[in-house]
């Protein structure tokens, strides 16, 4: 069995429950605070933006949460995703390590983000909501939510960072195929957008501003809610389908990982693959979890664990998390999905408590790893996912150095078919490393709210 190239689960084996790590983590999360009063957020504060079922999941302490049948049905379109033994990569690295990867790029939107887009659209529909507003930077989250909204007959409004909508016209078309309305941000549709346009009519926009526009849109209309693609507890909960499947698939192969690796932006694909394994670690089993981030946005490796805002406009709750400061402006690296200043509170607390390790790599190391992977395994990874590939390669080479085997599992969070400009730039030798500057960092960190 362990010699099978691909290990699929039967279609009945799509998980029926999500794993909620809040039930088992030794230190409970610090409560999120209201940005105005700085008091703990109440469910009522969140109701203008989210349906009650998602608010309940956000704070739930139940270990297992049932996945609605209507969501399982949609998951079945592409789940279970394949778990693949990377024989060719192992050969190319001449390593005694066994490398497995979980391929989330097979989803219809090309990344893991659909795993949460579908339940989020479902719960909003069930709560009588007609429209969902969101933001997108690189376009992955907007694509996933557009698809999910089309499944459930919801209108989808995507505020897309203006510069990305110009640079990535095919991402915009992708969302429009599913019926979404894509609005370049800053726009004249919101107060937040108009304020920026008045001063800088040619503003390229930013993710922080696009969040502010989407939140304002949702808060201003009773028929509209807001949806976020990472960071929040309920998002990581939905993503645990990745790790739950991987665990069952590895069990079929008679294997278990020594280390689980994921790239880390807001923490959702990493938490999704790692949390079901950390459950075993809480019960005493030896297993490492490794989060990989860019040196341009080194939230875990160089940030601080503190209360901070989730957006530039200070509209979101203040969360206790690893952060580089809400005004942090990362350089324009190609892994757009990893350019967030903050980090999921769940991943942050577990990192703080020593259950998670983190590493940061430069952009060129990432593309080098991506190309090694593409030429051996045949799949072109998203630049974000290439961080996990790099982490796995480093582990496999360490195994070779030490002359002993180990089992590595990593998450391939998405394919890179919309990122060819990034690959072009790397192949032409134009890609620069852009590690975050020490002085900049000190300046952004000085701007945290006083709690």
Applying CB under 6 A, the residues found at the interface with ligand PLP are: 111, 113, 140, 230, 263-270, 337-338, 382, 384-385, 413-414
DSSP 298-358: -HHHH-EEEEEESSTTS-SPEEEEEES-TT------S-GGG--SS--HHHHHHHHTTS-EE
Q: Which is nearer to ligand PLP, 184 or 271 (CB)?
A: 271
Q: Give the nearer residue to ligand PLP in terms of CB position, either 270 or 322.
A: 270
Give the shortest CB-265-to-ligand PLP separation in angstroms. 3
CB of 131 to ligand PLP, least distance (A): 23
Q: Return the number of the residue (125 or 309) whose C-beta is nearest ligand PLP.
A: 309
CA gap 277, 433 in Å, rounded: 33
Question: How many Å apart are CA 61 and CA 24, to the nearest integer?
Answer: 9
How far is the C-alpha of 363 from the C-alpha of 31, rounded, in Å? 35
Residue 343 CB, shortest distance to ligand PLP, in Å, is 9
* 233 versus 269: smaller Cβ distance to ligand PLP: 269
Q: How far is the CB of 155 from ligand PLP (least distance, A)?
A: 23
Q: How far is residue 12's CA from residue 80's CA, in Å, rounded to a whole number?
A: 9
243 vs 237: CA distance, rounded Å: 11
Report the residue number, 193 or 411, with the smaller CB distance to ligand PLP.
Answer: 411
Q: How far is the CB of 221 from ligand PLP (least distance, A)?
A: 26
CB 384 within 8 Å of CB 413: yes
Residue 41 · residue 310 · CB < 8 Å: no
Chain residue at closest Cβ approach to ligand PLP? 414
- Cis peptide leading into 186, omega within 30 of 0? yes
Least CB distance to ligand PLP at residue 413 (A): 3
Q: Compute the CA torsion angle 279, 257, 382, 171 (nearest 10 deg).
A: -40
In the complex, minimum distance from the CB of residue 143 to ligand PLP, in angstroms, rounded to a whole number: 9
| Least Cβ distance, residue 239 to ligand PLP (angstroms) | 7
Token reading at 443: 């300046």
Q: DSSP string spanning 211-241? A: HHHHHHHHHT-TTEEE--SSSSHHHHHHHHH
Q: How far apart are CA 111 and CA 257, in angstroms?
A: 23
CA angle 231, 237, 239 (to 5 degrees): 85
Q: How far is the CB of 12 from ligand PLP (least distance, A)?
A: 27
Nearer to ligand PLP, 253 or 371 (CB): 371
Closer by beta carbon to ligand PLP, 228 or else 445: 228
Helix (H) or strand (E) holding 271: helix 268-282
């Amino acid at each position: 069995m362990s010699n099978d190239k691909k290990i699929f689960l039967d279609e009945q084996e799509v998980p029926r429950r999500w794993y909620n790590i809040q039930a088992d983590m030794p230190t409970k999360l610090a409560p999120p605070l209201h940005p105005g009063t700085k008091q703990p957020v109440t469910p009522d504060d969140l109701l203008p933006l989210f349906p009650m079922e998602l608010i309940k999941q956000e704070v739930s302490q139940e270990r297992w949460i049932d996945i609605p049948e209507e969501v399982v049905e949609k998951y079945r379109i592409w789940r279970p995703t394949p778990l693949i033994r990377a024989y060719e990569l192992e050969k190319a690295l001449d390593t005694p390590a066994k490398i497995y990867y979980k391929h989330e790029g097979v989803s219809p939107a090309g990344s893991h983000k659909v795993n949460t887009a579908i339940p989020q659209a479902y719960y909003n529909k069930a709560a009588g909501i007609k429209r969902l507003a969101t933001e997108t930077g690189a376009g992955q989250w907007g694509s996933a939510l557009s698809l999910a909204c089309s499944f459930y007959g919801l209108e989808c409004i995507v505020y897309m960072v203006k510069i990305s909508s110009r640079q990535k016209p095919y991402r915009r078309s992708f969302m429009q195929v599913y019926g979404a309305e894509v609005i370049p941000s800053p726009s004249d549709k919101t107060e937040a957008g108009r304020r920026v346009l008045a001063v800088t009519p040619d503003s390229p926009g930013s993710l922080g501003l696009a969040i502010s526009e989407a939140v304002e849109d949702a808060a201003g209309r009773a028929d509209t809610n807001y949806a976020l693609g990472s960071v929040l507890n309920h998002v990581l909960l939905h993503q645990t389908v990745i790790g739950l499947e991987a665990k069952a698939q590895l069990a079929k192969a008679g294997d278990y990982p020594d280390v689980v690796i994921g790239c880390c932006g807001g923490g959702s694909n990493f938490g999704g693959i790692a949390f079901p394994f950390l459950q075993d670690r809480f019960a005493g089993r030896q297993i490492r979890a490794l989060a990989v981030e860019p040196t341009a946005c080194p939230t875990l490796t160089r940030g601080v664990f503190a209360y901070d805002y989730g957006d530039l406009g200070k509209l979101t709750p203040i969360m206790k998390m690893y952060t580089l400061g809400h005004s942090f402006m990362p350089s324009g690296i190609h892994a757009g999905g990893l350019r967030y200043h903050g980090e999921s509170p769940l991943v942050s607390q577990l990192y703080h408590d020593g259950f998670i390790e983190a590493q940061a790599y430069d952009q060129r190391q990432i593309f080098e790893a991506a190309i090694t992977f593409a030429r051996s395994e045949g799949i072109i990874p998203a630049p974000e996912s290439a961080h996990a590939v790099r982490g796995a390669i480093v582990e496999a080479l360490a195994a070779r150095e030490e002359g002993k085997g180990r089992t590595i599992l990593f998450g391939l969070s998405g394919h890179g078919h919309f990122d060819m400009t990034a690959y072009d730039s790397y192949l032409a030798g134009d890609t620069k490393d852009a590690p975050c500057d020490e002085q900049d960092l000190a300046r952004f960190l000085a701007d945290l709210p006083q709690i």
